[in-house]
Structure 1
């Protein structure tokens, strides 16, 4: 039996995905858990082992929001309900007795795109994760940029509106309250529009971004306004982000980015419209090439050996 596998784990606000990855970047086994069902993170290694069905592996990589690469802890993650400082690396190393590395979930996705996806040819790029929250995995000089304390890339918590929408981090007006999956859903209630009262979105008990995109495709003008609002907000701030690291490309990754070329084009249009003349036409906005796979699992596994 082949045992030279790496366990890659992607901890998100909604789902925890995990898989065994071989040296060719192929996921040979995959599973998932609902994050809300994991009440005690110390039990996560055991819960994952139960689903692995006796598969073997020799190291572990974890991608999670608000992660400190250096301390091995998840710190104050607003979309997780596990407490303030979670020693997630310690939990896994104590349970499996295997080397374990932790990185931001967006960094994990960025490593996945670098090795197997849209960023193979880039040394300077940013992966923007558009899931329950919003994060950024930053590559500078062909290396992941971790920052001084191992927590760089919290782009979702750039405050874009003074006294704006409340954020789970405790502040107001953070970018992810507008451009993440949860932000898009919030827009249903918080955006004003003459087309709002007749929108079928208002009849849905638990709407999703997919509902918004589908309604927009079916001609719902209010849904169309939400999609445009989200693309404009994101593109505007990508244009600002370009001034920080001068990337070759932004790669859109995650649930919202899966909704097609039309959304990518809108974000690109607003990015190019607002970008500094110095960078005009030089910074690409791309979609992930790994949406048919699980880039976050691949990236977390790759990071374990990175």
Structure 2
């Protein structure tokens, strides 16, 4: 029987989302698990199998599937490994493709999670028909996928395009996962936005803020967004600061690939104009004249995580 389906898996810093995808790019069924609930990668795979195996059986068993595609942080396409991922519990080099093949008896291929999302966006989303664009994921971390002349930029060792780890503030905030100081991910991720909130609350103790009614555990990017919507001064300043850093970084990225568009997705994009307005303003202010008012900033129109699931599944068609 000819394979009808593929499995796409998106490994994020908080959640791992996965689904069964047909040849037309429809996600027929999907679910999620917590990425870091288990200390070992084998425990993670068993958690995954508890939900994924019934899906495989529901759609006819392994003989109807072409394989498994996975997008994951620090995934090496060539070796099928996850290597030294900053936001995952599993340290060192993990032979993920091999482990997936052993557990599910299907061919498995890996790529960077943001690269998978870029492929999904190019095939099914707002970047369909574009040959030059950059995707930026604003989630627990900051991921990126760079497409030049219709091809994902992977590099000679499989790790090109890690724009979230570009240094945007000299001797800036420490990123505990990498040991780098001042990286974009330290500021423009949901985690970075929370850190900025805490810093501003401490720096301006005299300023009243709704944010002060929350415990440290309750302070999240979503909490800050809700407070900003209510007109909270510090919460709004947090989004302005975050968007400014992101926009400055996007201006730098435009210089090396001259993209038609930059596609944003992930949790922080739900803040809408609160983050988009300062981002656009800072990007335009730092572009060379030849690029001004020519680079589109777009939101993904795919459902959250669908781009990554679709792009990951496309690895094995």
Deviates more, 1:228-237 or 1:189-198: 189-198
1:270 aligned residue: 282
CA distance in 2, matches of 1:258, 1:225: 17
Deviates more, 1:51-60 or 1:92-101: 51-60
1:216 aligned residue: 228
Cα deviation, residue 163, structure 1: 1.8
Question: Which residues of 2 match residues 109-258 of structure 1 at below 5 A?
Answer: 109-167=117-175, 168-191=177-200, 194=204, 197-205=207-215, 206=217, 207-258=219-270
TM-score by length of 2: 0.91
Q: Note if contact 2:37-2:44 (Cα within 8 Å) is conserved in structure 1.
A: no
Correspondent of 2:307 among 292, 295, 300: 295
CA distance in 2, matches of 1:141, 1:18: 29
User: Is the counterpart of residue 89 in structure 1 residue 72 in structure 2?
Assistant: no
Q: Note if contact 1:6-1:58 (Cα within 8 Å) is conserved in structure 2.
A: yes
1:45 aligned residue: 45
1:30 aligned residue: 30
Cα deviation, residue 41, structure 1: 1.1
Q: Note if contact 2:66-2:316 (Cα within 8 Å) is conserved in structure 1.
A: no
Q: Note if contact 2:236-2:274 (Cα within 8 Å) is conserved in structure 1.
A: no
CA distance in 2, matches of 1:39, 1:156: 25
Cα deviation, residue 70, structure 1: 0.9
Q: Note if contact 1:12-1:64 (Cα within 8 Å) is conserved in structure 2.
A: yes
* Per-residue deviation, residues 28-74 of structure 1 (Å, max 9, x unmatched): 11111111213221243332222132234331110011111111111
2:80 aligned residue: 72
Q: Note if contact 2:3-2:66 (Cα within 8 Å) is conserved in structure 1.
A: yes
Cα deviation, residue 3, structure 1: 6.2
Gaps of 5+ in 1: none
Aligned residues: 305
Is the alpha carbon distance of 1:22 and 1:58 closer, same or farther for their aligned partners in structure 2, counting shifts above 3 Å? same
Q: Note if contact 1:268-1:284 (Cα within 8 Å) is conserved in structure 2.
A: no
* Per-residue deviation, residues 233-289 of structure 1 (Å, max 9, x unmatched): 000110011111111110001111132255334322221121111211221111111
Correspondent of 2:106 among 98, 105, 130: 98
Q: Note if contact 2:17-2:30 (Cα within 8 Å) is conserved in structure 1.
A: yes
Give the SS at the match of 2:145: strand
Give the SS at the match of 1:58: strand
Q: Note if contact 1:166-1:172 (Cα within 8 Å) is conserved in structure 2.
A: yes
TM-score by length of 1: 0.94
Give the SS at the match of 1:109: helix
